[in-house]
Amino acid sequence: MKDLDLTPWLIRMSQGDEEAFQAVYEATHDHAYRLIGYLAPNRQDIADIMSEVYFELYKSVNRYDPELQFSSWFNGLIVRQVRNWKRKEWRIFRIAEKVKLSTVKSSDHAAELRLTALDDQLELLPVLQTLPLKFKEVIVLRYYQDCSLEEISELLNIPLGTVKSRHHHALKQLRHRFDRQGLRKEGDGFVY
């Protein structure tokens, strides 16, 4: 997606052209789906977050600076929407937990935790999903979107040193989790 020039479509889209919005959507939806899939807290949230991303794209296309690379701007928009979704989900989760604590027996809670753990093992990237969002963002942007550390710094609007630190700590946590689960073998292709 980095080589894609959508500027003419984005200009038309900013003028309310629905055909242009459809063209931008068609050109970007596979990329958006993959990136959201890597960052989303739950796989079942991907479609909802996709809707939020394209709603925000439509609202904020006027703020896109054609001098910037569209892929970087769009990646930043996706990351912000995933963060917003996670914050919204966390508030709902806290309310639900308060209600559940007053009504659920401890044995039922243990069974629920076991089912959740089993579900996590079945996900595409279970180890990556265990990382905190701030680490997951850096890993996904670096290794799945091929962004440089400098691009990640701009995208997330954080200092380069912070990106480097998060990158280092994320890799350290991933190595630890792989070792603990017995998934990493000598000479495997995991990037250090």
| Other C-beta atoms lying within 10 Å of the C-beta of residue 173 | 16
Percent of the chain whose pLDDT exceeds 70: 70
Average pLDDT score over residue span 60-88: 87
CA–CA distance from 159 to each of 26, 75, 135 (Å)? 33, 17, 14
* pLDDT above 50 for 81: yes
* pLDDT above 80 for 43: yes
Amino acid at 64: Y
pLDDT category at 172 given cuts 50, 70, 90 is confident
Which pLDDT does position 107 carry in this prediction? 42
Say how far apart CA 158 and CA 113 lie, in whole Å.
Answer: 35
pLDDT category at 158 given cuts 50, 70, 90 is very high
Amino acid at 98: K
What is the Cα gyration radius of the chain? 19
Average pLDDT score over residue span 52-67: 90
Which pLDDT does position 141 carry in this prediction? 86
For the domain covering 1-103, report its CATH number: 1.10.1740.10
Tell me the domain boundaries of the chain. 1-103, 107-192
- Which residue do the tokens 């977050």 mark? 49
Which pLDDT does position 2 carry in this prediction? 59
* pLDDT above 60 for 78: yes
Contact criterion met (CB below 8 Å) for 81 and 46: no
Which pLDDT does position 180 carry in this prediction? 72
> Which of 124, 32, 15 has its CA nearest to residue 82?
32
pLDDT category at 142 given cuts 50, 70, 90 is confident
> Which of 171, 93, 107 has its CA nearest to residue 139?
171
Say how far apart CA 101 and CA 51 lie, in whole Å.
Answer: 32
Which pLDDT does position 54 carry in this prediction? 93
- First-to-last CA distance in the chain? 26
Which pLDDT does position 182 carry in this prediction? 57
> Which of 132, 125, 163, 161 has its CA nearest to residue 147?
163
Which pLDDT does position 105 carry in this prediction? 42
For the domain covering 107-192, report its CATH number: 1.10.10.10
